[in-house]
Structure 1
Amino acid sequence: MTETGNPSQPANVNEYTASHIQVLEGHEAIRKRPGMYIGTTSERGLHQMVYEVVTYAVDEHLAGHADTINVTITADGSVRIADNGRGVPVEVREPAGKSAVERELTELSFGSKRHTGYGVSGGLSGLGLCVVNVLASRLTVEVHRDGHRWTQEYEKGTPVTALTRNEATSEHGTVIAFRPDAGIFETTRFSFATLSERLQELAFLNGGLAISLTDERPERPVRHHHTDGLRAYVAHLNPYPPSLVHSPAIAFESENQDKTISVQVAMQWNTRPTGEFRSFANSTRTHEGGTHEHGFRTALTNLVNDYARRHDLISPDDEDITAEALQQGLTAVISLKLAHPVFEGATKTRLGNPEANAYVQETVREHLTDWLDHHPNEATAIIRHILNAST
């Protein structure tokens, strides 16, 4: 009910004018409806704040400018994320009169990342750092760039100091430290285990990137660095060597000529009744799948049936091996990176790009067919395992 005039008198229910319509804009909208931007204000949303900042550092790695990310849970409950990338730009542009780093931390940029230098990027498509800043009671940014160390402080998304040039330095990179707003989140206590699992996942998905996590509550350091990429990820998900149908895992990758889409795949069958399938788009877990998963499953089903019939592992009268049968004991990870991802929903749980379907199908058909043809013993063992598991 809307109250007007004297609060002791009942409101006129027939009075409904433009003054009753409240439009939330900018930072106010984020603080009033945080779930629209980070999914939830529960522990999951709390950790999403960290992932958004880490995503910017991962984008620097994908652009070829960073190979190390250090995440620290500090003793006072804040989180600090440091990378050795180029550093967020600090120059001032007119007519706004704001530095680039301040614009990145305070302005909403729906639909695309502000940095045109990123061919592939994750996070909230230009909203990430701003959303984190607005939902933090305190945030400090430290940039090593252009020969100096630059610093600025914010409270609830509003700068409380100017961007300050400090001492000279030859280092480069960005450090962002923030404390989540206790008035927004159900809990402000970060889970070491939760953060470690996601950071390890990012290290698997971005081979060559070293990510460390330190907890100062007490100190508990861990470092994730996997040069073997998705093959190491599958080995992590398949920790029981005696149950493996073949080893090592099958792994391949491909990138189109324009470098607008690339895919990495690793897969391995084991004799356990269940497997695990994980798909990602721009390092974001697509829990509900999407076009990249459909392309993978379609190509896998078709080419395995084709191989089995060409090598008389199933007779012409036998029915095709089903997609469900192929999943018996299959552990697979597919990681797609594309310049213009289309996700369904703000939390990015399902990929919708039609070109992803076609490209993944083409890549799987080419590379997995080649692997099967060059590994006949392993190929036969895989198909016999599938046939036995489905009977």
Structure 2
Amino acid sequence: MSGDANGYDVTHITVLQGREAIRKRPGMYVGSTREPGLHQAVFEVVGRAVNEVLASRAGSVDVTLTPGCVSVADDGPGVPVEAAGDEDGPGLEALLTHMHPRARPGRRTTKALSLPGIGPCVTNALSSRLTAEVRRDGTRWVQEYTRGLAVAPPTAEGPASGSGTTITFRPDPGIFHTVECSFAVLAGRFRELAFLNPDLDISLTEARSPDAPRSVRFRFPGGVRDFVAFLDAPTGTPVHPDVIAVAWEDPRMAGRAELALRWSTSREERIRSFANSRPTPVGGTHAAGFRDGLVAAVNAYACEHRLLTASDPGLGADRIGEGLTAVVSVKLDHPEFEGATHGALGNPAVRPCVEETVREHLGRWLEEHLEQAAAVTDRIIGGPQQQPSGNRPSR
């Protein structure tokens, strides 16, 4: 049917951009207007501060929850302020009103708290009020926003003590079903980030009720090794005391990988995978490479020590994974995710790189730790009573 016939033409099309588009369709930018979307609005602001720490421009991030309000502070150099004549790239107002004003080549050091193409401007647009404070070059600058619109230009409010940026915002109750964040949800994600990035120091403070204040700080120098120990703690007795861990740089995948694993008496398999600190619940090439290497290493060891029989010629991934806790993390210059939700990593080069290192490192660990290796293979194959004693490695 033609436009003339039904009276519909280009004059009926409304193009929404920027703040107006975000407020009209908030779910497109933070996922929903319920609690998960509220938390994503927090992550958009926290992500910028986390990247300052991981780029060695700041030392810590502090997040504080007050009634209906969230404050995110870092001790970096402070966002450039246009009103001060800063020329160090786009500044405060661009950060809070435009998507990705400070894009940088390569994404290995960009930690995925934010959704792709978003940033603090989305949080600003979805807040009834936002205050930005910048401490930079000895001056304290303040700028206020209402529903994404600047009330006035940044104003110099006197001398600054130290440097950094603090963004305090009130999620708009006219948009979100709730404006009170879950302390547990935020703490869980911040803890996860600290495990994956040993240089990160991040705190979360609950100040919404004077009767129940609490604060937690997350920093884990042991990285993914500490992560596995944490995940293992409530599940069962470890089969072997060592957490097996390895980290390496590989130019073939233009990135770095870290992994840690340990078997326990639990029957559950817990393999957590991440790409650039973003959870990949569907897995992807890094998780597939880990499984490939795991199966190859365990089967090679079992064959070498004659632990397999004609009726049990090989061990599959499901059998080897029973009771296994593992964390697989890759940080790539150019990650390629599958699907709109980025639930799986797609970089083809990652799979053989991870497989090769897991096979070699785990195989070497098994040969160098025979007593622990025997405990692992007993756990997988079914116990020493099923194996002729002469076929087991010496202890």
TM-score by length of 1: 0.87
One-letter amino acid of the structure 2 residue matched with residue 88 of structure 1? V
Q: Which moved more, 1:313-322 or 1:173-182?
A: 313-322
User: 2:48 pairs with 56, 63, 69, which one?
Assistant: 56
Q: Is the 8 A contact 2:130 2:167 kept in 1?
A: yes
Q: Which residue of 1 aligns with 2:230?
A: 236
Unmatched 5+ stretches in structure 1 = 1-11
Q: Which residue of 2 aligns with 1:332?
A: 326
Shift of 1:324: 0.8
Q: Is the 8 A contact 2:83 2:154 kept in 1?
A: no
Q: Which residue of 2 aligns with 1:382?
A: 376
| Partner Cα distance (2:122, 2:268) in 1 | 39
Is residue 2:59 matched to residue 1:71?
no
| Partner Cα distance (2:157, 2:167) in 1 | 16
Q: Is the 8 A contact 1:36 1:346 kept in 2?
A: no
How many residues align structurally? 374
For the residue of structure 2 that corresponds to 1:243, the secondary structure is coil
For the residue of structure 2 that corresponds to 1:213, the secondary structure is strand
| Partner Cα distance (2:46, 2:225) in 1 | 23
| 1:298-377 alignment, distance < 5 Å | 298-315=292-309, 318-377=312-371
One-letter amino acid of the structure 2 residue matched with residue 120 of structure 1? T
| Partner Cα distance (1:58, 1:367) in 2 | 31
User: 1:29 pairs with 21, 26, 31, which one?
Assistant: 21
Is residue 2:109 matched to residue 1:120?
yes
| Partner Cα distance (1:92, 1:310) in 2 | 70
| 1:84-95 alignment, distance < 5 Å | 84-91=75-82
TM-score by length of 2: 0.87
Shift of 1:224: 1.6
Is residue 2:257 matched to residue 1:268?
no
Shift of 1:235: 1.3
Pick closer, same or farther for the CA change 1:92–1:374 going to 2, 3 Å.
farther
| Partner Cα distance (1:344, 1:84) in 2 | 35
Shift of 1:276: 1.4
| Partner Cα distance (2:137, 2:356) in 1 | 44
Q: Which residue of 1 aligns with 2:276?
A: 282
Once the two structures are superposed, residues 321-355 of structure 1 have per-residue CA deviations (whole angstroms, 9 ceiling, x without a partner) of 10111110111111211122222344432222222
One-letter amino acid of the structure 2 residue matched with residue 212 of structure 1? S
| Partner Cα distance (1:80, 1:311) in 2 | 58
| Partner Cα distance (2:201, 2:242) in 1 | 23
User: 2:30 pairs with 27, 34, 38, which one?
Assistant: 38
Once the two structures are superposed, residues 7-38 of structure 1 have per-residue CA deviations (whole angstroms, 9 ceiling, x without a partner) of xxxxx982111112222222222222222222
Shift of 1:49: 1.4
One-letter amino acid of the structure 1 residue matched with residue 97 of structure 2? T
For the residue of structure 2 that corresponds to 1:307, the secondary structure is helix
Identity %: 47
Q: Which residue of 2 aligns with 1:165?
A: 156
Q: Is the 8 A contact 1:59 1:118 kept in 2?
A: no
Shift of 1:253: 0.9
Unmatched 5+ stretches in structure 2 = 387-395
Q: CA RMSD in A?
A: 2.7
One-letter amino acid of the structure 2 residue matched with residue 29 of structure 1? A
Q: Is the 8 A contact 2:81 2:91 kept in 1?
A: yes
Shift of 1:380: 2.2
Q: Which residue of 1 aligns with 2:183?
A: 192
For the residue of structure 2 that corresponds to 1:336, the secondary structure is strand
Pick closer, same or farther for the CA change 1:13–1:383 going to 2, 3 Å.
farther
Q: Which residue of 2 aligns with 1:149?
A: 140
One-letter amino acid of the structure 1 residue matched with residue 93 of structure 2? E
| Partner Cα distance (1:198, 1:73) in 2 | 15
Pick closer, same or farther for the CA change 1:367–1:60 going to 2, 3 Å.
farther
Q: Which moved more, 1:215-224 or 1:253-262?
A: 253-262
Shift of 1:368: 2.2
Q: Which residue of 1 aligns with 2:245?
A: 251
One-letter amino acid of the structure 1 residue matched with residue 363 of structure 2? T
Pick closer, same or farther for the CA change 1:385–1:79 going to 2, 3 Å.
same
Once the two structures are superposed, residues 59-97 of structure 1 have per-residue CA deviations (whole angstroms, 9 ceiling, x without a partner) of 2222122331111001x3211111122322334799x9x
Is residue 2:15 matched to residue 1:15?
no
Pick closer, same or farther for the CA change 1:347–1:139 going to 2, 3 Å.
farther
For the residue of structure 2 that corresponds to 1:255, the secondary structure is strand
